[in-house]
Structure 1
Amino acid sequence: MEGYSEKQLGILLVAERLFADKGFHGTSVRDIAQEADVNIAMISYYFGSKDKLLEAVFRYRMTATKAFIQDLVDNDTMGPLEKIYSLIDRYVNKMLNEQNFQCIMNREQMNREQSPVKDLIWELKREMMGLMEPIVTRAQEEGTFYKDVDVVLLMSSLFGTIHQVVPAKSYIRSSPEFADMPDDEFVEYLKVRVSAHLKKMFKAILTHEF
């Protein structure tokens, strides 16, 4: 991603994996330095602290998504339902490809202890909701989408469905029909299946068409 050197990005990705595996409090800067094959001073120089490193992981993962949504909002060549479908594909791909990050997100949101990124999570969610809302409200004003749509719950349905699919992957994978399917092929199959389900559901909610 633009703005990070190869070395910085390597540290970020190692930190993301360790935070997912061991939790924020269970991961030390020394652990990250050893795994990333750098010295502790380099991590301090680039990121300042473990708290700031976790914040950097979140900003790294969310910046591209915010830009993507803004581009959708500004796009005058796509219809509103097409934009919604594009958003669904984006999130399905993102959440199934970035499972370490999703693990951190889930853990930090459920963690009762004070976390350096709890406020950041909700700040980013509010920003994304603020970008998403105009796509729906403009289509409502034009009469394309029904007016009795709860955008907050609509987005919760999107995130919630994908969040449930990630831990259910092994259950779906256990079906005999997937026994000989390579893992990467199965993930691609799952993306298509989840995306098709969400698009059908969103179309029904937004347009009352099935």
Structure 2
Amino acid sequence: MRKIGLSKYFMSLMGILYKKEHILRIAEQLFAEKGFDGTSVRDIAQLANVNIAMVSYYFGSKEKLIEVLIAERAQHTFDKIEALNKDQTFSPWEKIDRLVSFLVEKTLNKYYFDCIISQQYNYSASPVINELILKIRSRHLEQITKLVKDGQRKKYFKKVDIELTMATILGTVNYVANSKDAYCSRWKINGADNLSYHKKIAPRLKKHLKHMLRAHLDIKNEE
């Protein structure tokens, strides 16, 4: 009986987690497409096919929902970079290559989330959300700084401005992610959806950034 009770409990817990994640995915899509102010709780509930009361039950308010969304998605990125930092089986160059691949795939495949971060950082009137985004960016930069400084300590990388190096990488990735129509026109790709575009551009983008960082970071190129 006890095993049956535990089984039901875990099934119920998994059901709750699934519903919460489903609502978060729908909210993420709508916030990116319509903006935070242009999206209502009713919009989220209708597209998620749940009651409005369920959205309120899980998150309390639209403001709390976007806070949870930003925090959870950002934590995944932080965990990935932190794990890469701690892994002693990769050389500093392998870590840089893996970081680039992760950032490209994350941005291209999580395009909605990056749209939300950009919107909220530039236009949000909420000091809570602005502070959350600043804290997230600071934590991510701290981990990336550790990765680069480890390569410097081991005499792989020269001294560089790490913050501007990351701005260059992320700026390039975001520009490419936002330029689908222009690149599809140049390559004469008709009616390409986001997935097809991402599959085509991702390998080229990763290769370019990795080559660029080789030239930028390599201690052999130190002046």
Fold shared by both chains (TM-score > 0.5): yes
- Which of the residues 188, 192, 204 maps onto 2:215? 204
- Distance in 1 (alpha carbons) for counterparts of 2:154 and 2:219: 16
2-structure distance, mates of 1:43, 1:106: 24
CA distance in 1, matches of 2:91, 2:15: 33
Q: Is the alpha carbon distance of 1:105 and 1:133 closer, same or farther for their aligned partners in structure 2, counting shifts above 3 Å?
A: same
**TM-superposition CA deviations, 1:116-147 (whole Å, max 9, x none):** 42211111110011111111112112211112
Q: 1:51 to 1:99 in 2, by over 3 A?
A: same
Per the TM alignment, residue 64 of structure 1 is displaced from its structure 2 partner at its CA by 1.6
Q: Out of 55, 66, 70, which is 1:43 matched to?
A: 55
Per-residue Cα deviation, 1:137-194 (whole angstroms, up to 9, x for no partner): 12112211112x1111111111111111112111111124534877634321200111
Out of 55, 63, 83, the position equivalent to 2:67 is 55
In structure 2, C-alpha distance between the alignment counterparts of 1:24 and 1:170, rounded to whole Å: 25
Alpha-carbon distance in 2 for matches of 1:33, 1:110: 26
1:139 partnered with 2:146: no
Overall identity of the aligned pairs, in %:
37
- Between the aligned partners of 1:90 and 1:139, the Cα distance in structure 2 is 18
When normalised by structure 2's length, the TM-score is 0.86
| Alignment match, 2:98 | 86
C-alpha separation between the residues in 2 aligned to 1:22 and 1:182? 19
The verdict on how the C-alpha distance between 1:179 and 1:99 changes in structure 2, with shifts beyond 3 A counting, is same
Q: Report Cα offsets for 1:68-93 as digits up to 9, x if no partner.
A: 11111111110111101101100100
Q: TM-score, normalised by structure 1?
A: 0.91
Q: Distance in 2 between matches of 1:46 and 1:112?
A: 23
**1:109-188 equivalent positions in 2, closer than 5 A:** 109-111=121-123, 113-114=125-126, 116-147=128-159, 149-179=160-190, 184-188=195-199
Q: Is the 8 A contact 2:121 2:130 kept in 1?
A: yes
Cα distance 1:3–1:66, how it changes in 2: closer, same or farther (>3 A)? farther
Whole-angstrom CA distance in 2 between matches of 1:181 and 1:17: 19
Cα gap change, 1:177/1:28 in structure 2, threshold over 3 Å: closer, same or farther?
Answer: closer
Count of residue correspondences: 208
Residue matched to 2:40: 28
Give, in angstroms, the shift of residue 208 of structure 1: 5.6
| AA matched with 1:188 | K
- Stretches of structure 2 that go unaligned for 5 or more consecutive residues are 1-13
More divergent stretch after superposition (70-79 vs 4-13): 4-13
User: Which structure has the larger Rg?
Assistant: 2
Query: CA distance change for structure 1 residues 123 and 11 in 2, over 3 Å: closer, same or farther?
Result: same
Q: 1:106 aligned to 118, 124, 143, which one?
A: 118
Q: CA offset at residue 54 of structure 1?
A: 0.3
Equivalent-residue separation in structure 2 for 1:71 and 1:3 (angstroms): 29
Deviations 1:78-119 (A, max 9, x none): 011110110110010011111111111111122163364221
Following TM superposition, where does structure 1 have runs of at least 4 consecutive aligned residues deviating by more than 2 angstroms?
Answer: 112-116, 175-186
1:25/1:185 Cα in 2 relative to 1: closer, same or farther (>3 Å)? Answer: closer
2:21 corresponds in structure 1 to 9
Cα distance in 1, alignment partners of residues 20 and 55 from structure 2: 8
